[in-house]
Amino acid sequence: MRLPSTNASQECGQVTDTSGHLSNDSNVTDAQQTAIKTENTLDLDKSAFNRLLGRPLNEIVTLAG
């Protein structure tokens, strides 16, 4: 028999320390999700730029400096 949880964050797999802050595991997961979101945004922007120039969507975009 499963006892009801008294803390909703524990049901989500998050663990809080004595000061009420989420554990570092949650921070690492957030950072990984942010990195994936950033990569996806960059891919969408590259595709839009290539589409604007009439090039294939997966052509490499480089900026001359």
The answer to whether residue 60 is domain-embedded is no
Q: String of b and e for 19-52 (b: at least 16 CB within 10 Å)?
A: eeeeeeebeeeeeeeeeeeeeeeeeeeebeebee
Q: How many domains is the chain built from?
A: 1
Model confidence at 1, pLDDT cuts 50, 70, 90, reads very low
CA atoms within 13 A on the CB side of 35: 6
The reported pLDDT for the residue numbered 61 is 74
- 10 inside domain: no
Asked, for residue 11, whether it belongs to a domain, the answer is: no
- φ, ψ dihedrals at 16, nearest 5°: -105, 150
pLDDT tens digit string along 6-58?
Answer: 554 455 555 555 666 666 788 899 999 999 999 999 999 888 888 898 988 77
Q: Is residue 29 part of a domain?
A: yes
Domain range enclosing 42: 24-52
